[in-house]
């Protein structure tokens, strides 16, 4: 069953340039491949906002990296049964990923 909605005009506040969208997808896919290849490895990650996190990559999906951190200094982590927490970071916000071991 389909519904018909009356035609309304919406004001577009922002629309990404197609070239920028392509570049962001390329970067996101590259970072996803790197992170997926280094699951269970210790890394130091710096975001484009200058935040630095150290931990172990536990998973990576098409948009996020999941980092197990021992001493979370942020309140946005998911806590498990141990002292470790899982921090979710957005792939296209990552600036530097350094392999620690």
DSSP 18-84: HHHHHHHHHHHHHHHHHHHTTTT-EEEEEETTS-EEEEEEEEE-SSEEEEEESS--SS-PEE-SSS-
Q: What is the pLDDT of residue 92?
A: 84
Q: Please list the pLDDT of the chain residue by residue as tens digits (101 residues).
A: 666 766 678 899 999 999 999 999 999 999 999 999 999 999 999 999 999 999 999 999 999 999 998 865 555 555 555 567 888 899 989 999 999 97
Domains and their CATH numbers in the chain: 40-99 (2.30.30)
pLDDT at position 37 is 96
CA nearest to 33, candidates 95, 82, 91: 91
pTM listed for this prediction? 0.75
């Amino acid at each position: 069953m389909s519904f018909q909605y009356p035609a309304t005009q919406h004001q577009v506040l922002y629309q990404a340039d197609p070239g920028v969208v392509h570049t962001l997808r390329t970067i996101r896919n590259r970072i996803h491949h790197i992170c997926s290849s280094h699951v269970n490895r210790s890394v130091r990650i710096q975001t484009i906002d200058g935040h630095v996190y150290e931990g172990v990559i536990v998973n990576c999906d098409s948009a996020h990296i999941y980092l197990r951190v021992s001493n979370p200094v942020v309140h946005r982590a998911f806590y498990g049964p141990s002292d470790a927490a899982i921090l979710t970071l957005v792939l296209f916000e990552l600036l530097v990923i350094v392999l620690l071991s």
